[in-house]
Structure 1
Amino acid sequence: MRRDEFASYDPNLLQEILQRCDYGTLALFDSKPYALPINFASHGEKIVFHGAKAGRKFEILSQRPLVALSVVLPYAFIPSHFSGTSLACPATQFFISAHLSGEVELVRDSDLACVFLESLMQKMQKEGGYEPITPQNTRYTHMLEKTATFALTPKEWSIKVKLGQNRPLEAREKLIAMLLERGEPLDIFTLEALKSLA
């Protein structure tokens, strides 16, 4: 990462980002650039996701399993006029992002595939209201036959935290006051994150 002040190497923060973000962008290695959004879940040391057993994603991953995954947790947009200038230059977006790369495997064991799919459901549908996914539940048999479950084992990862921590204290205090005044939901979310950095 070019600027060290934005870098984090905290594995707990990585897990928090992976839990809080609903989707990420998966970049695949093919003869042409290809990236696609995916729902995913963190399960132990792996990132799990699913798809059809046909189509471009499945074909590429079957032949070239090296991938990168980018996950972004957005915070407030900071408009240029917050800096007291008429120039556009100071406008910026606050965010925390995680970037992971590694190798994807197709999960062929049906019991393990069900465990991973259950992890996805528990993340995306926390309220429950569905029958647990198991190989023994015949209502899922057809779905499991058609569904490819993938597990990414990250070999490298990095985190970028861009929340204005590089600004002088006075500038950060002014920014906090402006976010409080604007008071949008994402501003409140951002203020909570800024307090944790103080």
Structure 2
Amino acid sequence: MFREMRRKKQILSEKECVEILEKGTAGVLALLGDNDYPYAVPISYVYYNSKLFFHGAKSGHKIDAIKKCSKASFCVIDQDHIVPEEYTTYFRSVIAFGKIHIMEDETEMKNAIERLAVKYYPTDTETNRNTAINREWKPLCMIELDIEHLSGKEAIELAKTKQ
């Protein structure tokens, strides 16, 4: 169903892919947009239990695209070190593929937004976090991407350092 990576020596393990998703702070969500043009939007996220969670407004291009087609991909770049003298970059990145939907269960939404809040402000108090969440609850839309396939790749120069 999903393509095999051509450059096998550069494949990241599932563990490495998950580590990148756990530490990353933003990525690019790719959806099928208006008139079937790809719609790719930079967005913050949290990874938990083979799923990615996003938040946003209840209307707009992203929401329309999700309602139109449940297939999505999400890319996180972990490293992109430019090496001018080699005319290349030493990169490391992950792409997640899966089904995306707008969350409706309030308990699940609350758990997802709390995980997102803790990721971006881990030292905040529970009281402050709950106040912020409650203030934005009514206009909040939570989105879940259930990962079906995870693919990670790094520059051959980085792969060689592991051997």
TM-score range, shorter chain: 0.7 to 0.9
One of 141, 149, 153 as aligned partner of 1:156: 149
1:75 shift after superposition:
4.4
One of 14, 17, 24 as aligned partner of 1:14: 17
Matches within 5 A, 1:2-151: 2-8=6-12, 10-30=13-33, 31-80=36-85, 90-129=86-125, 131-133=128-130, 140-141=133-134, 143-151=136-144
**Alignment partners' CA distance in 2, 1:132 and 1:162:** 39
Q: Deviations over 1:54-77 (max 9, x none)?
A: 111011112212111111111432
1:108 shift after superposition:
0.7
Q: Normalising by the residue count of structure 1, what TM-score does the alignment of the two structures yield?
A: 0.72
Alignment partner of 2:136: what SS?
helix
CA RMSD of aligned residues (A): 2.0
Q: Which runs of 5+ in 2 are unaligned?
A: none
Q: 1:126 to 1:166 in 2, by over 3 A?
A: closer
Q: Which runs of 5+ in 1 are unaligned?
A: 81-89, 168-193
The size of the alignment, in residue pairs, is: 156
Alignment partner of 2:138: what SS?
helix
1:78 shift after superposition:
1.2
Q: 1:4 to 1:49 in 2, by over 3 A?
A: same
Alignment partner of 1:53: what SS?
coil
**Alignment partners' CA distance in 2, 1:144 and 1:166:** 44
1:106 shift after superposition:
1.2
